[in-house]
Every structure is written in structure tokens, then in C-alpha cells.
Structure 1
Amino acid sequence: MVAALTYLPTELIQRIFEFTVVETDSQYWLYNLVALIDFSVSSRGGGSITEDFLTNYVRKNLMVLDLTCEATQDSILRAEYGFLKRLLPYIDMDAQYIRVVDLETNVDKAQNLKAEKLIVIFDEFSDLKLIETFFPLANSNSNITEFVFCVRNIKSSFYSPLEKLHIANIVADIDINTLYLDFVDSNIYSDQNLFGIFDPDIFQLINKNYRNFFSKTNEKGKKRPPICKKICFPFVETLNLDYMALDSFFNSILHKLTTKIKTFERNNEFDVDKNLNLNSTTTVAALIIKSILQQFFNNFHISFPNLVTLNFIKMSTYPNNNEITQCCNFIDLSSYVLNKCLSENISINFLFQLHSLKNWSMPKIKEFTGHKFKYDETTFSGSPERYIKSLRGNIKILQEMAINETNDGTCYFRVKLIPEGVEKTQIIDWIPFTSSFSDDTFKQRHHLKRPMICLKNNSLRSLTVKIIRIEKCSSIRIQGFYLPNLQELFINNTLCDTTQHQKQASNDMSCIEFTSWNELSQCKKLGFAQLEDDSNYVLNISNLQDHLPNLDLRESFPTFFDIRQKFVVV
């Protein structure tokens, strides 16, 4: 929206932002304001009318309470933080900017503030309970509070200071409209905690019913505690996230959250009559977990309005040397995880929603490093029989879960693992259909002819896939790719090949087919990596023409010479 302002008259610009910024119901009013400031400064857009509007609006409506430590304050005043350095030049630092020391020595300064919108700046060392000192002093009608967390390093977390505010339950009538995370750089790195978002106890900060569930043992505050509705990374363009972050967070749900809930259930400490409708087929713990996770994915939002690149990385620490390797997001679908979900009554759909970044908003994203699946025995050595049997059992559990959890009882999951907007990515260890997975029952053979996962994405143009290869001379049916705008599919089985895979797949010739369980109508090129184990793929030209109607056979296969050919070998 901001970029489009370059084509509008300055009077109209002012009117637009009187609606978008001044509107107090907008959860993005502060970001809209700072984005307009950024536009006005960087492109000199709007001229004096916009400049006057910005100055008058900020001076009239905003006040800033800085609770950061001295080192962070110095960085803020040196204009090192990307979000604040755009806003603070419009703040009257003498009249609108209050630091911790001002609360103790300059009461008059706080009492003279009459702005409606309070911006609280804090870092990991802040004591947010100092807000309790500010509110009685300020002669203010403040009804919107925004929090800006200044991130100091890769391990910084907003959780600890916000938890203390939550427990103190001081500002009971004010929700945290949006929590902004501010950085010195637009290219940021994060560990598995993601600055507090993936803290195992994050749910108590974002779920309005969480405290009520445990109210018999938790001391109640004046009213309910403030709830964080949204987290925004305003000017982050590249996020480098630990490849185990999402998987570790789901594991914390499976273990830490469920253990806590079971403990309360065992001690009969829930106050459930006011919050849950029990019936004979569900337990208190199952209903609470479902409620908490639904609240997380449906009502808690993570916004990256300027994110272009999302990289998953592996960080290795050596003496005097930190090595960072780009890799794929880790998705654990092993039998252990699936059985744990079953025993705890947690839908596997929550796992797919987490890895699909369901509650993330990334309107500008273009680059995404991809996903790597983990199944049973895909990283261990052993006999071929053990390998196939273990993987077959793993897949059978997934199929049964799909039948029980999907609305229409299908034996596959519909997922959106690739964010819309991404044009090129990769998937490692995609499971095709192969006869090796079938047992002796007709039911399983019938289910296995369908994809286990159906991947949907409209923006993807190029996809690299590593297919799990099970045994020599097996027929591999590629399916589950609903990618209507994909133009290039590249099969690269040299990616992360394990000793087990090489043992099973060396010196063989595998037939590859595409099934009707795909939507690849725009795919023009099919590529294969050069295998180093004397293996080959055989493809039926008629099958390719049926399921990849726009495929350029001559460009895709050096061994293709004439349309009368029935097969190509790569």
C-alpha cells in the first residue's frame, strides 16, 4: 500500500492515513505509521503536507516509555534499531520520551502526558512491572499499548520479561495489541527459541483461557492478564532459523505441555466447568490441549511484512569458530512421534499446520530452503527387510491417522508446506508409491496407490525433490504434487543419500511413473541429477505426455530423439 502512494496527490495521502493510522481498531496502526514515515523519508513522498501530518499526529497521540537497560538505550539513541530509528525522530524526546530514571525523578513529565497510545520499549533485562509505577502517575487516557522488544543477540527472548508482567497482572484492562521485534540488521539469525515465540510456555501469554484452566492453583490477578495477540518483525528481510526450531517446539507440546496438563488433571486442579464442555468420549486433558493449539493457530499471528527469504540453518560451534550451514526444515514423521500424538490425543494436523507456518504472514516471501522428512530407519543401517518393514509400519500409522482425522475420511493429508509466494524450493525424502510398501492385505495396497501427502502451492515455479528409494529395480510412482504453475521438476537423489539408501539402490534400473494424483499441467522441464552409483531411471513417454502435457521432452532428456520412442533412460 505504501509504495502505491507515490502516484497519489499529497492531500489524498493524508486522508488515507487518517483512516489507516488514526483508526484505533487497526492492529497494524503503528506499523502503518512507521511505514509511511519510511516512505516519506526514503522517497520524499507526500511533501510538506505528509510531513506536517506525521509530525502533528505523532506529537499529539503517542508517548514512549523506555524500560531498556543502559546499553540498549544507547543503541536506540544512536539510531541503530531499524524500527525505532524511523519513529523516534518524530517524537519530542523532552516531552514524549520517558526512561526508567524519569519515573523516579521527574513525576511532572509523566503527569503531563495526555496521549492515547503508549509505546513500551523493553529488552531481555527489563522489569516490566515498572509500568505499575507509570500508570498511576500519568494523567492519560491511553487505550492502546504497543510493545517493542529490542533484540540484542541470537538468544534474546521476550518471554521472561513478559511472563513477569503476565504474572503481576498489572495492566488488566490493556492487551498487547502487537508485539514488535526490532533488530539492528534486516538479516537476522535465530536459534530454536525464535526470540521467545517457541518457548514451551508461550501459550500462557497468548491464550486468554490458559490461566482459567489452572485457576485453582494459580493466584488470580485483578482481572485477566494482558494477552499478546500478534507479533510483528517489521523490517526483517531475511530470517535464518534453526532447522530444528519447529520440530523442537512440537516436541515440547508433546512432552512438556501434556505433562503439565496431566499433572493438573491427576490432582483434580482444573477449573473446567467454566471453560470446557466435557462428554463421555473426551478427557479434560485432550480438550484443553485442543483448545490451546486451536487458539495458537487461529488467533495468534506472526507477521513478517517485508520478509523475502526464509533460510533454515544448522549451527555448529567449534573452538573459536562458528559454522553455519544452510539446510532444510526438519519434519519428524517417525512412528515414535506419531504414536506419541495418538497416546496424547493430539491431531497430526497440528504438526502439519506448524510446519506449514499457518499463522505466519509473509506477503513478500520469494525464497524458502525447503523441508526434509524423517521416517523410521531412514538414517540407520540394517538389512533391507528390516528397513522396508519399519518404513511400511510407519506409513501404515500415517494412513490410519489420515483416515481418522480428515473430514472426508481420506487416507492422505492435504498440506501447504510451501508458503505462497515462494518460487523455488526443495523437498528431501518424499515418499512415492512403490510395491515394497504393500503388505498382503488388499486394503493397504488400495490405500498405498494414493499419495500419503498432497502438497498444494500456486506460486512454485521450480521444485527439487529427493525421492526415498527402497530397493533395486522398483517401480516408483511420483504423486501428491498439486502445483499448477510449476515449470521445472528436478529429481536429485544425490541429496543427503545415506549408506542405507546407497546399499539398497546401487546398480539398479528403476521405472518412474507419474500418476493422476498430480497437477503439473505447466511443467515444461523434468531434470535428473547424475547418479554416481550406476543407477538409471526409465520413463514411459506416453505416461509423461498424459500427466505432464507441456513437458519439453527434447530439453528434458538427452536420450530423446523421436516421438516414436516409447521409453527414455536417464
Structure 2
Amino acid sequence: MLQQDTLGDGEDHYTFDSLPPEIIQKIAGKLDIKSKYFLVDYTNVLKAIGGPNKRYKILQYTLIEQFKSQIEVIDLTTDSLNDKVSTPLLDILRTHFISEDGSAEDRLVDSTRQKTVLIVDDSTDFEQLPKFVDTVSLDLIYCPFYNNSSINKILMKFPLQYVIDNLILEFKTQEIFAGRNLFGVLDTKFFTFNSNDISPNRRVGTSVGNIQSPWLVPRCQQIILPSTVSLEMDYLTMDSFIYNIMENYGLSFPQATSLQRHQQQHSNHNHSHVDQQQNMSCIENIFHNFLGSVNFYAPNLRSIKFINHRDEETCNFIDVSTLMLNKFKTNSCPLKYLFKLHSFQNWSLPHIEYFSGHRFKYDETAMTGSTERLIRSIRDNVNYLYDFAQDETDDACPYFRVELFPRGTKRTKLLNWLPLEAFSMDSSYPHSTSISPDRNTVSDLSERDNNIRNYNKPVLCLKCDTLETLELKLLPIRKNHSIYIQGLFLPGLKELTLVNHNSVIKRPRISDKRNSIVMACYDAAGANVQNGFDADGISPPTLSTEEDDLEVGDIKPIGFSSWNYLPSCEYIHFTNNNETKQTNFIFKITNLKAHLPKINLAGSFQTFVSEKQKFIVV
């Protein structure tokens, strides 16, 4: 796969554009028309040798002629210059590969072609769509006009079981807003029912784990965004996709399985894997096929941002409330798929640097809003998560190993990250002991609570090798109780920023389409604190986690548990927000040095004088 570097000024620079023609010719010789990345790689090579240097001209001509007899390009997009999309890939295809003679139908039924490229947009007259040939590979280039445009309107014009090898999305600009369903890709209509009476050459849903899936499968198996540098999407995009799949298909086909009996009999593959696939529920099968069959590739994408209803940047919404957990349990679907989807696991983003982050939604309140109900609600929710983890992990570990971010991410944030807090050791909780540490003392937390069943362990263990900067907001539970950061296994993390201001609400409200009660931090949802509105445009009151509201000057002891791996972290920073009440953290120096071996105390804390002081107050 040949990759392209995009300079800050918008110009394109290729890592091999100064090589001699002989070397480039060898690179071009590696191009495989059957590769799923062929069009992107081919365009990169042609563009690299298409500059003013004359020594490349012969090579470019040879390379074009080499594939001209194998590729057919049909352009059914608008003739309007105002709406027509122009990108390097489209320009090369239109310049060198569109035939001027013969109808689209005559050209497309030519079975000698190995690949057909069809370029469409929202103005395409679908009556012009020609007859398709099973033996010809089809790449579909879609140029949406609007944020709410959908590829599914176009896919409906194809035969029901016809597979699109590559769906390429091209736009006028390098920065795009993809709405809530990514132009129809993250939509239930993107799936179709397969059958066994169609041509095996064009059957939807290639093998996942070497097994042909005959049931509900995606219409396209490769989604490519070749020119996009910055991608914005609604913060409920992935959450809505997961929820709608379970709502639309879980009730209709609750016991559907992924394999036909005759396929199992004729399979030469591992029988344990076959049995595992056959026992999949409908929902698990859909998520499994989506993650295993559909690959996203954005070679130039640098950032993914999530936008709320006021067009402000916020975080991706991850619902791990009891309501969502019950959905997964009812549909017999492992919860690991929720984390894999939110992690963008099937996205290949070689140049990704920035990801807006995630906000977790727990059962953060009860109807009365009292402290006891609040704590009990979160306890039950977290206990439910532990039960899921124990049931799903191969080694029965009571925690999930998660990635949460696209591979390669360097800067991001986590909001409502669950700490180890004193409520987990409350004697009133069924899985606790009578241990009740001094709430105003910071300990080393060196696994002294091993007799507690689960709650000396994180429910989520995050691992991301590339992350360098993380902003972290802990889910607050009790005033002045010791809390411990846990579950961060980030070997490359250099800077950790802690959110130390409080903006939480004191009365519950109905906040989303599921009529669930939420008492979340409104600044965490991307709120405009100055204007006094939360992410849904509702004026937020404040929550008192004790009898009185949190006051400026409240001290919360904080530390790091042994359930972290932060060998490179040098600095701890803190957010400043004059519009909200601020929590004063107190750190124990021995705890910091034990779990952050490279910590720069002087560079992290203005109040640090020497290690003789033992504690640092921020």
C-alpha cells in the first residue's frame, strides 16, 4: 500500500517523487489490480510521475496504457461545474480512462474488463445504470452533495445481492461533516439479506474467519476516503448505529444464526469455529460481519471530531448504562462489540493524530437525586459491567481490555472515566468488606484490598501504544473521598491533563430518545458553560453529591493505583475554568513516583517545593 503525506499548506507530497524512473517503475510493477487499495495506489503513482519532470512522461504513458485495457470508468455525475467534485483520483480517471464511444451499457458488459469504476453523485440518473457482469470487479465512487446524503439510495438500484468491492467517498473539500450515519454507511439500510441462489462470484459478504455468511451482511466491504483530512460526525453516530441495529433486527430475528446446516456439512474449516459462528445471535452476527467484512481506509485522515447540536466539538457518546447493557443481554450479544465499534477497530488510518475523545454514560442518578440513590445506582451499573466482563473474557477476568481509539491516535480525552473510589469499599455493598479507609488520607493503594472481590480492579483496562496526550475527567461520586486513577496502560503517554472543575446537576431530566434519566456533567458533553446550556440546549442545574454543594477549596485526595502502566508520563496538567467551581486535588509524592517513574514534579505542580513536603495540593 503506497501512502501519501499531506503538507500543512494543502499541497501533496509523495515520499517517492524524487526517485529515478527505474525505481518508480519497480514500485509500479507491484501494483495489483485485484488489490482493494489499487485505485488509491495507482492514483498516487500516476500523480507522483505526472509533474513537470519530463523523464517521467514515458513511464506515465506506459503505466496508463498498461491498465487502460483492464479498467473501465463510467462517469454518471452532474455536468454542473458548481456541483461537480474534482479530486486527484477523479481527475486522473476522467482524463485517461473514460471512453468517448459506445453507450455505458455496451462498455460495462465487456467481460474482458477486470475492473469497472462507476462515478455517481446525488444527481445521477439511475435509468442510465447499465447491466452488471458477475465476473467484473466493481468500484463505486460516490460524491455526496449534502451532509445528509445517503449511499443507500444508490445501492438500492443495484441487484439485491450484488457486492460492491470498493465504495470510495470523494468530496469538494478535505474537511467534511458526515452527519449521524456517515452518508448511509452506519445505517441499518446498509445491510442486505443474502441468499444461496445467486452467482458465487458476486455473493455479498465474503468469508469472515474463512466462513461464507449467507445472512444479513453489508453491501460494501471496503470504504475508502482517499482525500479526506478532517472528518467530523455527530457525537451520537456510533451510539445510534448500535442502538438502531438492536432495535430493528433484535426483535424481528431474535434467534437467527449465521450458518446454514448444509454449509456446515460441506465446510472443510475448523469445526469449533463453525460451531461458534452457528451459535451467534442475530445481533452478534451483524456486528461480527460488520467488523470483520467492512474495512475503512482513509490514508490522509489526520483528525476525527464529534459535533453536538450546536455545531460545537464534543466527545463521542458511549452508553454503558443499565438500559444499554440490558439490550446486549436480551439480544445475547457480547458487550465487547460495543467497545470495538466505538474504538473504530475496522478503520485503517495511517496518519491519524487527533481524536475528540469519549464520554461514558452510566446510571448517574435516581429519580430523587439523593446521594444514597446516586451511589447505589452507579454501584449496580458497575457491578453489571463486571458481570459482563467475567462472562465474556476467556480467562474470567472481571474487566474488559479495550483500545477505545483508532490505532495511531496521539491526542484525545476521556470523560466520566471510572476511578477506584471509596464507595467500592463501603460495607453496605454486597461485594465489599468492612474496610473503610480514612477518606482524607491518600494511601499508596498497593493492592491492600485484595479481599474485595472486584472493586480493587478497573472494569475497563485501556491500552493504546501511540497515545501521547490525554485529558481525563473522572466520574465524581462522593465529596472528599479518596479516588485513584486506574486502568490506563499507555506506554507512550507523556502528558496527562486532569479536569478539576465541577459542573454537575442536582435534578434528573429526560435527556435522550430512550427516555433514560441522566445526571451527567454538562461540560463533559460539550456544553457552553458561559451561556448556561448543556449539550442538548437545556439549562443545567447543579448536583449536590452531599447535603451541600461543592465549594471552592474542597479537597479531594487523589492518586494512582497499581492498575496503570505509565512509564513515560512526565507531566500532569490541570484544566482552568473560572466559570465553574474547582476541586483542589491533594497528591502524595511517594504515590506519584511509584506509578509515574518519569514524573517531573517541578514542571507539573506550581506548589511543589521539595520532596520533603510529602504532599502536593493543587
> What is the TM-score of this pair, normalised by structure 2?
0.77
Equivalent in the alignment of 1:181: 169
Quick check: 476-485 or 147-156, which moved more?
147-156
Deviates more, 1:329-338 or 1:59-68: 59-68
Distance, in Å, in 1 between the alignment partners of 2:599 and 2:109 is 72
The partner residue of 2:251 within 259, 265, 273 is 259
Query: Structure 1 45/339 Cα, relative in aligned 2: closer, same or farther at 3 Å?
Result: farther
Aligned residues of 1:240 and 1:313 also touching (Cα < 8 A): yes
Question: Could you tell me which amino acid in structure 1 is paired with residue 431 of structure 2?
Answer: T
Q: CA deviation at 1:111?
A: 8.0
Question: Offset of 1:33 from its aligned partner?
Answer: 0.9
Tell me if structure 2 keeps the 8 A contact 1:148–1:181. Answer: yes
Q: How far, CA to CA, are the matches of 1:404 and 1:211 in structure 2?
A: 32
Secondary structure of the corresponding residue to residue 74 of structure 1: coil
- In the other structure, the counterpart of 2:227 is 235
Letter in 2 for 1:146: D
Count the aligned residue pairs.
Answer: 524
Match of 1:160 in 2: 153
Mapped partners of 2:559, 2:582: distance in 1: 20
Say which SS state the counterpart of residue 304 (structure 2) adopts. strand
Q: For residues 284 and 12 of structure 1, what CA distance do their matches in structure 2 show?
A: 49
1:311-350 to structure 2, matched below 5 A, reads 311-316=305-310, 324-350=311-337
Q: Distance in 2 between matches of 1:282 and 1:92?
A: 47
1:80 counterpart residue number? 86
Alignment of 1:248-327 (within 5 A): 248-262=240-254, 272-274=260-262, 286-316=280-310, 324-327=311-314
User: Shift of residue 83 of structure 1?
Assistant: 3.1
1:497: Cα distance to partner? 3.9
Q: Equivalent residue for 2:461?
A: 454
Does 2:611 align with 1:563? yes
Displacement after TM superposition at 1:73 (Å): 3.9
CA apart distance, 1:143? 3.1
2:73 aligns with 64
Give the one of 4, 24, 28 matched to 1:13.
24
1:447 alignment partner, SS class: coil
2:64 aligned with 1:55, yes or no? yes
* Contact 1:6 1:45 (C-alpha < 8 Å) held by counterparts: no
Which of these residues, 9, 15, 26, is aligned with residue 4 of structure 1? 15
User: Does structure 2 retain, via aligned residues, the 8 Å contact 1:332–1:375?
Assistant: yes
3-state SS of paired residue (2:139):
strand
1:470 matched to 2:477? The reply is: yes
Q: 1:445 and 1:288 mapped to 2: Cα distance?
A: 37
Counterparts in 2 of 1:77 and 1:19: CA distance versus 1, 3 Å: farther
Instruction: Kindly provide the CA deviation profile for residues 397-435 of structure 1, in whole angstroms up to 9, marking residues without a partner as x.
Output: 000000000111111111111223222111110010112
**Equivalent residue for 2:7?**
none
In the TM superposition, residue 368 of structure 1 has moved relative to its aligned partner by 0.9
- The equivalences for 1:82-121 within 5 A come to 83-95=89-101, 102-103=103-104, 115-121=113-119
Q: For the structure 1 residues 472 and 111, does the alpha-carbon distance in structure 2 shift closer, same or farther, using more than 3 Å as the test? A: closer
Change (3 A) 1:472 1:78: closer
Give the 3-state SS of the residue equivalent to 1:240 in structure 2.
Answer: strand
Distance in structure 2 (CA, Å) of the matches to 1:248 and 1:153: 20
Q: Is the CA contact (8 Å cut-off) linking 1:128 and 1:162 kept in structure 2?
A: no
2: CA distance, partners of 1:45 / 1:380: 74
- Distance in 1 between residues matched to 2:498 and 2:25, nearest whole Å: 53
CA distance change for structure 1 residues 548 and 161 in 2, over 3 Å: closer, same or farther? same
Aligned to 1:150: 143
Distance 1:178 1:240, change over 3 A: same
More displaced, 334-343 or 420-429? 420-429
Question: Which of residues 396, 405, 428 in structure 2 aligns to 1:418?
Answer: 405
Q: Please show how residues 495-514 of structure 1 align to structure 2 within 5 Å.
A: 497-499=504-506, 502-504=543-545, 506-507=550-551, 508-514=554-560
Question: Which residue is 1:538 aligned to?
Answer: 586
Report deviation, 1:114. 5.4
User: After the TM superposition, which of the residue ranges 347-356 and 298-307 deviates more from structure 2?
Assistant: 298-307
Deviates more, 1:149-158 or 1:37-46: 37-46
Native 8 Å contact 2:223 2:297 kept in 1: yes
The match for 1:321 is none
Write the letter of the residue equivalent to 1:477. Answer: Y
Asked if 1 retains the 8 angstrom alpha-carbon contact of 2:401 and 2:463, the reply is yes
2: distance between equivalents of 1:364 and 1:116?
Answer: 31
Q: Distance in 1 between matches of 2:430 and 2:27?
A: 67
Cα offsets for 1:330-374 (capped at 9, x unmatched): 000000000111111011100000000010110100111111110
Q: Deviations over 1:509-537 (max 9, x none)?
A: 21101011101111111122347536321
Alpha-carbon shift at residue 179 of structure 1 (Å):
1.2
- What's the secondary structure of 2:557's corresponding residue? strand
- Go from structure 1 to structure 2 and tell me whether the alpha carbon gap of 1:287 and 1:254 turns closer, same or farther (over 3 Å shift): closer
The answer for unaligned runs of 5 or more in structure 2 is 4-13, 206-219, 266-270, 434-450, 507-518, 522-542
Tell me, yes or no, if the aligned pair for 1:124 and 1:160 is still in contact at 8 Å.
no
TM-score (norm 1): 0.84
- Other-structure match for 1:320: none
2: CA distance, partners of 1:45 / 1:347: 58
8 Å contact 1:258–1:285 — kept in the other structure? no
Q: Residue 166 of structure 1 contacts residue 226 of structure 1 at CA under 8 Å; is this kept in 2?
A: no
| Structure 1 Cα separation of the partners of residues 402 and 276 of structure 2 | 27
Give the counterpart letter for 1:62 in structure 2.
I
Deviates more, 1:124-133 or 1:249-258: 124-133
Does 457-466 or 37-46 show the bigger shift? 37-46
Compute the displacement of 1:181 (Å): 1.0
Rounded Cα–Cα distance in structure 1 between residues aligned with 2:20 and 2:406: 35
Deviation string, structure 1 residues 380-412 (Cα, Å, up to 9, x no partner): 871111111111100000000000001111111
Choose the corresponding residue for 1:190, options 178, 193, 197. Answer: 178
Root-mean-square deviation (CA), in Å? 3.2
Pair 288,134 (structure 1): closer, same or farther in 2 beyond 3 Å: closer
Distance 2:452 2:84 in 1: 66
Residues 438-465 of structure 1 show CA distances to partners (whole Å, capped at 9, x for unaligned) of: 4143489331110111111111111111
Q: Deviations over 1:483-524 (max 9, x none)?
A: 111111111133764446752271332110101110111111
Partner secondary structure for residue 404 of structure 1 = helix
> 1:197-250 CA deviation, whole Å, 9 max, x = no partner?
11113232xxxxx424xx8xxxx5566645522111111111001110000001
Match of 1:441 among 411, 431, 434: 431
Report if aligned partners of 1:103, 1:134 keep a CA contact under 8 Å in 2: no
Paired amino acid for 1:229? Q
Flag the 1:485–1:290 CA change in 2: closer, same or farther, 3 A: same
Provide closer, same or farther for how the CA distance between residues 113 and 547 of structure 1 changes in structure 2, counting only shifts above 3 A. closer
Deviations, residues 255-295 of structure 1 (Å, cap 9, x unaligned): 11212213x86xxx99943357999x999884343333222
Deviation per residue, 1:156-181 (Å, 9 max, x gap): 111122133142x5x6xxx4221111
Given that residues 365 and 373 in structure 2 are in contact (C-alpha distance below 8 angstroms), is that contact kept between their aligned partners in structure 1? no
Q: Determine helix, strand or coil for the equivalent of 2:147.
A: coil
The structure-2 alpha-carbon separation of the partners of 1:379 and 1:114, relative to structure 1 and needing over 3 Å to count, comes to: farther
Counterpart for residue 207 of structure 1: none
1:271–1:408 distance in 2 versus 1, CA, 3 Å: closer
Determine helix, strand or coil for the equivalent of 2:406. Answer: coil
Q: Is the 1:406–1:413 contact (alpha carbons within 8 Å) kept by the matching residues of 2?
A: yes
